[in-house]
Structure 1
Amino acid sequence: MKFVRIIFALAAAWGLLALVPGLFVEAGGGPSPVIAGPEYYYGFTGLALVFQLIFIMIAIDPVRYRPLILIAILEKLAFFLPVTILYWQGRVAIGPVFFGAMVDGLLMLLFALAWFLSRRTGQAIQPL
């Protein structure tokens, strides 16, 4: 379980470090050209920040919250897959968004490994 705890704690820390500064993009004086639809941008950022709390919950008690690992995998897939497809279509350039999606892809694989390994611990999973 130590591996699972470390993976989810690092994912939460990475997510907070990557997302929180984005809340202050417009603070420099007016709307940013990067944020064409601020309601979507801040909605996405807010939802992603909430998921960091879920990652912290999993890191604290991976056995209890093991079913949430599957949802965490989907959360990573929800950003990784569209950006990958958009890149193949030539609609996303290699840059911060692309690299962020690749980090999510890596975390998605690590979450899947964590889910698989947590199953082999022999510990009973309590229903939610």
Structure 2
Amino acid sequence: MLQMKFARWTFGIAGVYGLLCLTPQLFMEERVGIDMPPKIEHPEFFYGFLGVAIAWQLAFLVIARDPARYRLMMLPAVVEKYSFGIACLVLFWQARLNVLIAPFAGIDLLLGTLFIAAYLHTKSAV
């Protein structure tokens, strides 16, 4: 039972946190270009990234509702978190990452690790 609570809280917090961080960016295309030049030249990538990322936050909320049933979805959720965090680490080592992004990458790496723990401690519904 405790394992189920851990998974519910982990994915629930991740989903809400992600929605709070990502959704406002839908209205900040111009601001991003000012704060982190150059200007966004391919808005389809910017909005495409946000759309996919927001969809994943919704998936986290679905997983949180029934972790046992959606246990296998925890594995691609780990990939979602680690793909951003690891990419940011590599960009940091190449001196190509804006320092403002680093805390968010760290949070994603932490959440990815918590997702692995949730997966390992959640029994499948099947």
The Cα RMSD (Å) is 1.8
Shift in Å, 1:27:
7.2
The aligned residue for residue 89 of structure 2 is 84
Letter of the aligned partner of 2:67 in structure 1? P
Partner in structure 2 of residue 17 of structure 1: 20
Pairs aligned (count)? 119
Deviation at 1:93, TM superposition (A): 3.1
1:76-124 Cα offsets, whole Å, 9 max, x none, are 01101111100011111321x22111110010010011111114xxxx5
Length-normalised TM-score, structure 2: 0.87
AA at the equivalent of 2:113: L
Partner of 1:117: 121
Cα distance in structure 2, aligned partners of 1:22 and 1:10:
19
Asked if 1:105 is matched to 2:109, the reply is: yes
Other-structure match for 2:56: 51
Cross-structure match for 1:4: 7
Identity %: 39
TM-score under structure 1 length normalisation: 0.85
The answer for unaligned runs of 5 or more in structure 2 is none
CA distance in 1, matches of 2:29, 2:73: 33
Query: In the alignment, what sits opposite 2:67?
Result: 62
State the 1:10 CA deviation. 0.2
Give the 4+ runs in structure 1 shifted more than 4 A.
none
Q: Distance in 1 between matches of 2:23 and 2:84?
A: 17
Are 1:72 and 2:77 an aligned pair?
yes
SS in 1 for 2:28: helix
Local SS of the residue matching 2:7: helix
Contiguous gaps of at least 5 residues in structure 1: none
